Structure 1
Amino acid sequence: MDIFENKNIKPMLIGENQEAFDSPDYIYELKLDGERCIAYLDKDVTELRNKRNMKMLAKVPELSKIHKQVKHRCILDGELIIIRDGVPDFYEIRRRSLMSNTFKIQLASSKLPASFTAFDILYYDDHSVTDLPLMQRKKLLEKVIKENERIAISRYIEEQGIKFYQLAKQNNLEGIVAKRKDSKYYLDKKTKDWIKIKYLLDDDFVICGYIHKDGGVISIVLGQYLNKELVYKGHVTLGLSTEDFQLIKTTPQLSTQPFNELPSGNENAVWLVPKLVCIVKFMMKTANGGLRQPVFKGIREDKSPKDCTI
C-alpha cells in the first residue's frame, strides 16, 4: 500500500543513549525540544500527524500552507517547535497541542507561531525513499524544500560530535543526535543507527496517581512498563502547573494501586487509570532507578503509556 495515501506512518526512533563522540561515519544534529511530527505535503494540501497519528494542523494552523514550500510531493519527518527567546520552548508547543479552543489557538499562533524543522524524507514524488542511505536522503531533502519562516531543514555537522555537543551544552540546549551516514530509515522501529547524546536528561513516565501534601503541594506518582507490568518509579513535585494538574484530576480513578510492588509513603495516593504520559527532567538516575532532583516538564499526548518502558 502507498504510504502517502495510507497516512499511518510511525516514525523511526532513537535506540541508544551515549556520551559524545567523534566519528567520520556519523553526522550530528541538534536535538530540538519540540513535538515529533510527520508531514504529508502535496501540491494542494498539508497534513501533519504526531507519533500517535493524531492530526495536528488544527493546533498549528499557521503551518497549513507549508506544502507550497516543497517542489515535489513528499513525506517529511521532523519536529514541530515554537521558538521563544531564541530557543525551542517545549512548554509552548505542548500547551498548543493541548488546546481545543479555535480562538485561543489563533491568538497563540499569531503571538508565538510554530514552525516545522525537517530532518528526514521518507517519500519523494511517487515512491518511498526509506531504503536510501541517510546522506542521499539528506541531499533529497535539500532539493525538495524551499525554506521560509514556517519550514526549515535541520542543519548538521560531520565528524566533530564532541565539539558540537559542547556547543549545545554552552547554549543550554537539550543535546544532539548522532546518525550513521549509511543508515536506512526503518518505519516504527528503534535503531542504534541513531544515538541520543543529551545534556539535559529527561524521560517519559506514566502518571499513575497523585498525593496531596502539606501546604497544598501535589506530588505525582510515576511508573514505567516492564514486560507489560507497571513498575513504580517514584514521585515528582516541582514544576507541576495548575493547568496540568487540572487535566490530571479529570483522569478516571482506580480503586487500588496499579503496581505489583509499592514502597511505603504512598498510602494517601489517589490512583488513576494509567492513560496520561508526562516528561520529567532530572539530574541523574540513582542506583535503584530513582530520579535525582526531578522536575515535571509537561504532559504529552503524542506517546502511548505502553511505550513508556524501562
Structure 2
Amino acid sequence: MKLPVLPPVSPMLAKSVTEIPPGASYEPKWDGFRSIVFRDGDEVEFGSRNERPMTRYFPELIEAVTAQLPERCVIDGEIVVATGAGLDFDALQQRIHPAESRVRLLSKQTPASFIAFDLLALGDQDYTGRPFTERRAALEGALAGVTAPIHLTPVTVDLQVAQRWFTELEGAGLDGVVAKPLTGTYEPDKRVMFKIKHERTADCVVAGYRLHKSGPDAVGSLLLGLYDEGVLKSVGVIGAFPLARRRELFQELQPLVTTFQEHPWNWAAHEAGERTPRKAETSRWNAGKDLSFVPLRPERVVEVRYEHMEGDRFRHTAQFNRWRPDRTPESCTYEQLEQPVTFKLGDIISGLGEPR
C-alpha cells in the first residue's frame, strides 16, 4: 500500500460523559467492531481497535469496498450485523472464526455492513490534521451514492435531535450518542471525542464466582442471575474490584459455596444449548481461558449498573453498585428491567437491516 496514512492505526477514542455537551457534531454510537478500512486499488485491509487486521473475516465487505469506495482512501467506521430487529452483536461475534469455510458461509448467512463516520485520507491527501467539519464534508463527497453494505452515519449539530437519538435509537440496538468537537483534528488513540451511553441499575442474584489470575484466594468475577418464571438464568458478570477487595470477597463467599448437584446451573443436567455458565465453557476471544466457576447458593443480592441488554444478558460487563440485603433472590426478575422503545434501523439509515 502507498497511502498517506498506513496501517496499523489506533482509532481516535471517546471519553465517557453523563450529558450530551453543546456545540458539537453528534452521531449515533454504533454497537459493533470499530474498524479503519484502508484501500489502495485492489488492496483492502480492515484494521481493528487493537490494530490487528480483521480483513479475512469479512469477505463481503472487501468486495463492497472495492466496488464502492474511492480508489485510494482511509476511512474510520464500525462493522455491524444489522437485521430487521436491530443490531445483532452476538451474530457479529460469531463472524470471528478460524475456519475459512465457516467464514465464507457466515458471510452469506449473517452479512455485515460498514458504517463510515470519519475520513483519515483521500487520494494523496492526509486529512488527520484537518478539522472534523472539513473531514466530514470530504467524507460525504467521497461516499455520495454508496449502497448497502456501505453506509454513511447520519450527523447533526442540533442538540435536541441528538437528545432524541439518545432516547429513541437504543431500541434498534445502538449504544448511545457520540459528540465530536467541530474543530478537532483526528488524534489516534486519544480520547478527544465524547460518548454518552445509557446506564441503568438492576438487582441480581450472585450465583457463583470465578477465581482471579492473582491466585486461588481472590475472586475474579461474580456471576449474576435473574429469575424468569422461576428459573434462574445467567445474565452476566461483574469483575472490577481492587485486589484487596477480591481477597475479602473470597473469604466472604466461602460459606455459600455449594456443589453443582445442588445448584440451579448444574451444567451436567442442563440440555445442550441452554444459555447458562458451564463448567468447561471457554471464551471465543481467548481459547485458552478457563471459564469454569465456583457455584454459590443463590442467596445474596447485588445492585449493579449496566448499559443495555443483548437478548437476555447484559451486553457489557456490569459494574458493582452496592449489596442489597433487603432484597430476596426470588424478587430479582427480568420484569425490573427497563425496555427501550422499539426503533427500526431503516429509519436511521435507509436500507440498513434489510435482507440482501
Q: TM-score range by the shorter chain?
A: 0.5 to 0.7
Q: Decide whether the 8 Å contact of 1:28 with 1:164 is kept in 2.
A: no
CA RMSD of aligned residues (A): 4.2
Q: TM-score w.r.t. structure 2 length?
A: 0.59
Aligned residues: 255
1:135 shift after superposition:
1.1
For 1:23-71, what per-residue CA distance to the aligned partner results, in whole angstroms no more than 9, with x for missing partners?
A: 3x21211111100001001221211011112221211111112133123
Q: Flag structure 2 segments of 5+ consecutive residues without an equivalent.
A: 202-209, 213-219, 225-230, 254-264, 266-273, 291-299, 301-313, 324-331, 338-356
Q: State the distance in 1 between where 2:244 and 2:40 align.
A: 42
Q: Decide whether the 8 Å contact of 2:238 with 2:320 is kept in 1.
A: no
The 5 Å alignment of 1:70-89 reads: 70-89=69-88
More displaced stretch, 128-137 vs 62-71: 62-71
2:128 to 103, 107, 130: 130
**1:218 to 1:91, Cα distance in 2 relative to 1, 3 A:** closer
The 5 Å alignment of 1:6-155 reads: 6-20=6-20, 23=22, 25-65=23-63, 66-97=65-96, 99-145=97-143, 146-155=145-154
Q: TM-score w.r.t. structure 1 length?
A: 0.67
**1:231 to 1:100, Cα distance in 2 relative to 1, 3 A:** farther
For 1:273-309, what per-residue CA distance to the aligned partner results, in whole angstroms no more than 9, with x for missing partners?
A: xxxxx96254x75169xxx9999xxxxxxxxxxxxxx
Aligned to 1:251: 288
Larger radius of gyration: 2
Q: State the distance in 1 between where 2:283 and 2:38 align.
A: 31
The 5 Å alignment of 1:217-256 reads: 223-224=239-240, 232=246, 245-247=281-283, 250-251=287-288
**1:5 to 1:31, Cα distance in 2 relative to 1, 3 A:** closer
Q: State the distance in 2 between where 1:217 and 1:210 align.
A: 17
Q: State the distance in 2 between where 1:132 and 1:152 align.
A: 22
Aligned to 2:321: 286
- The residue type equivalent to 1:15 in the other structure is K
The 5 Å alignment of 1:146-295 reads: 146-159=145-158, 160=160, 161-169=162-170, 171=172, 173-191=174-192, 194-199=193-198, 208=212, 223-224=239-240, 232=246, 245-247=281-283, 250-251=287-288, 280-282=316-318, 285-286=320-321
Percent identity of the aligned residues? 23
**1:232 to 1:60, Cα distance in 2 relative to 1, 3 A:** farther
Secondary structure at the counterpart of residue 166 of structure 1 = helix
- The residue type equivalent to 2:288 in the other structure is T
**1:117 to 1:222, Cα distance in 2 relative to 1, 3 A:** same
Q: State the distance in 1 between where 2:109 and 2:198 align.
A: 29
Q: State the distance in 2 between where 1:74 and 1:230 align.
A: 49
1:242 shift after superposition:
6.2
